[in-house]
Structure 1
């Protein structure tokens, strides 16, 4: 059945709150990594600096407690020379415009059907992502969802570059949702163990496109019967879509 693309009903103040992660949930891949790789490759000195820094930053990214520090390091290198967040936002728009076909191809059709279904039902839908919010909004504009609230990593100027000041990740994602006025969560969708605080807070958690190696962990810590689904990420685990 074809779901409506809008206009969607205005959610009531007490409508169920539905939270979607973005990367590997609505989008096949890590949108922030794709953006910052593009920024680094635009300048060979930045790219070389990132390569030289990888022995330090790579292990930081690999482990949850230090991930935000590693990501912030790469963001700083990629944005050196920028002095305002709006300069980064302009580059994000340029990146999305130059990669329209590739970015659109990465949007997961079944995920977007579920997303649109919640909106059509009058639910309060919000995207909470570790990516910069401008990036998620620009990508969602391809499918007429740019008006959905997006909570994402907060950037700001620091030492001659734009720095990730607050990484919307793990417990910090929950704090940022609460600070934005979002309370009890009815449904949450995410692929990542970093979002366990979000999934545990939801009355109905749904794991989508997880790494196969993490499925046992999800099964152990989330309520029995929690759906663990694959919405079209070929290199990820979860119960596949029916043909």
Structure 2
């Protein structure tokens, strides 16, 4: 039987979790879009031809969203509307349940559940499509947690991000939904520095090894930098 969590009060402690490399080992959106590309030979060819242009864009933080948008367009060409896109997401999650479950980080889920058990207001804010994070969280009975993610809509015969939940925009999207006074934030990424700096108690989890020193430099002294089970990532093991 699934655990029942108390309903948080409006003034309960607000805790924000990133999703990819925080609760989930990897980039969930990239896994979805790679599957969409691989299942169609024409999309595979288009992605290969576009990679010399899109690959360098993805590699650099200032242009990453443009590169990702290009691959998303290739992966979703022919889809029309959020309803069809969400249906594809649900199909992908159902068909890859074992692999997705294996990527959910047990230590992260323990901390996630502990906050909910304590009555905290827990929110997931992710650059992935929100339906994807919700569907994955449903495997571990957390589907009722609010998820704020990148908004997707029709674009030039495919689907594209109409609003990317990333960097400063992630903070704007949180505030618009009433999540402004953040007590604790968990994230792996320097793209989430606005979120981590806004939190009274930031926690870095599963950072890239090369970014550990940078996080320690720009965040308050004593900020935890932890590894919750991503073997190729940095941080201290709790």
2:14 is aligned with 1:45: no
Q: Distance in 2 between matches of 1:167 and 1:62?
A: 17
* Aligned pairs (5 A) from 1:14-25: 14-25=11-22
Q: Distance in 1 between matches of 2:123 and 2:48?
A: 35
Contact 1:5–1:116 under 8 Å retained in 2: no
Q: Secondary structure at the match of 1:6?
A: coil
Q: Distance in 1 between matches of 2:10 and 2:3?
A: 19
**Structure 2 match to 1:238:** 235
Q: Distance in 1 between matches of 2:92 and 2:80?
A: 18
**Structure 1 match to 2:66:** 69
Q: Distance in 2 between matches of 1:48 and 1:93?
A: 25
Gaps of 5+ in 2: none
Contact 1:61–1:67 under 8 Å retained in 2: yes
Q: Secondary structure at the match of 1:104?
A: helix
The aligned length equals: 238
Q: Secondary structure at the match of 2:98?
A: helix
Runs of 4+ in 1 over 2 A off after TM superposition: none
Deviates more, 1:121-130 or 1:61-70: 61-70
Q: Secondary structure at the match of 1:51?
A: helix
**Structure 1 match to 2:165:** 168
2:142 is aligned with 1:106: no
* Aligned pairs (5 A) from 1:1-243: 5-241=2-238
Q: Distance in 1 between matches of 2:71 and 2:164?
A: 13
Q: Distance in 1 between matches of 2:230 and 2:2?
A: 23
TM-score, with normalisation over the residues of structure 1? Answer: 0.96
- Following TM superposition, by how much is the alpha carbon of 1:5 offset from its aligned partner in structure 2, in angstroms? 4.9
Deviations 1:146-182 (A, max 9, x none): 0000000100001100111111111111011111111
- Following TM superposition, by how much is the alpha carbon of 1:6 offset from its aligned partner in structure 2, in angstroms? 2.5
Q: Distance in 1 between matches of 2:139 and 2:2?
A: 11
TM-score, with normalisation over the residues of structure 2? Answer: 0.98
